[in-house]
Structure formats: structure tokens, C-alpha cells
Amino acid sequence: MPVENDLLVGDTARADILEQSLWVVAEADRDITPIFFDRLFARYPEQRRSFHHADSTCGAMVNEMIETLMGLATGEDWVERSTQSLVMAHRCYGDIGLPLYAASIDMLIDTLAEVAGHGWSKAFDAAWREQGAALKGILARVY
């Protein structure tokens, strides 16, 4: 079925839609990391203390989230194991509940949409939200 931007929705097209959206975000020439973390810390101010080396860890976290969502879209078999390792590693930062993980995924997608501005399409949003829901499912299984 055709959707915006002449893209087809289907298993083989989802990763292409996500990649195309990232190009739109890149064209905006704005760093998404501080925007994402402004959202995160506004909603969860207690999380700020967990970022001891924010200059390096914040960007790495955003990149890992995007890579995981892209890996999920392309059917990479490492995604579930990596997600399980991430959850286990984050336990040293205290009780990070599933709602925080889920909210972080949503905030990342909201950030991408904000930065892309008018270039963000319904197809982009649907593809990212679908991948986000799938990742939330994995998180619930490995938590």
C-alpha cells in the first residue's frame, strides 16, 4: 500500500523508511542528544545523577537507542541479547522501571520528529512508533 513520500509499508521497506527519516533529521543540522535529554530530565529529574560523564554517555545512549531500533527493523538477531544486556547493566543505576524505558523510546521518537520539523511524515512516525512498540515488547520479555 503506498504511503507518504512514495514509500511502501512492508517488512522490507520499514528500515528504509527509518533511514530516510534520519536523513531528514540530519538535514536539520541540530544535535538531537541535548533535546532528548532535556525531555528526559524534565520528566525524570532524578535520572540526571546517573549520568556521571554526560558528555560521552548521553550521545552514546541516544546512538544505541537508534541503532537498536534500526537493528530491530532489519531483523538483526543481536537486538534481544543486546537489550537484555543493557537492562542488566543499567541495574547498577538503581530501579529503572519498564515505564522509564518505554517513555525513553517515546521521547526519542518525539525528539526525532521535533528536529525534522515539517519534513517528518506520517509514514516516518508510524514506522518509528511500530519499532518502538516492538522494542518495548522485547524490554518487557527481558526485564
Q: What is the pTM of this model?
A: 0.87
> Which residues have C-beta within 8 Å of that of residue 102, sequence separation ≥ 6?
136, 139
More confident residue, 48 or 52: 48
Whether 12 has a pLDDT exceeding 60, the answer reads yes
Which residue in 99, 133, 128, 103 sits closest to 113, CA to CA?
128
Confidence band for 119, pLDDT divided at 50, 70 and 90: very high
For the chain, how many structural domains are there in total? 1
Could you tell me the pLDDT band of residue 56, with boundaries at 50, 70 and 90? Answer: low
- Quick one: which of 104, 110, 52 has its CA closest to 83? 104
Asked whether residue 110 carries a pLDDT value surpassing 60, the answer given is yes
57: domain CATH number is: 1.10.490.10
Range(s) of the domain holding residue 83: 2-142
Average pLDDT over residues 130-143: 95
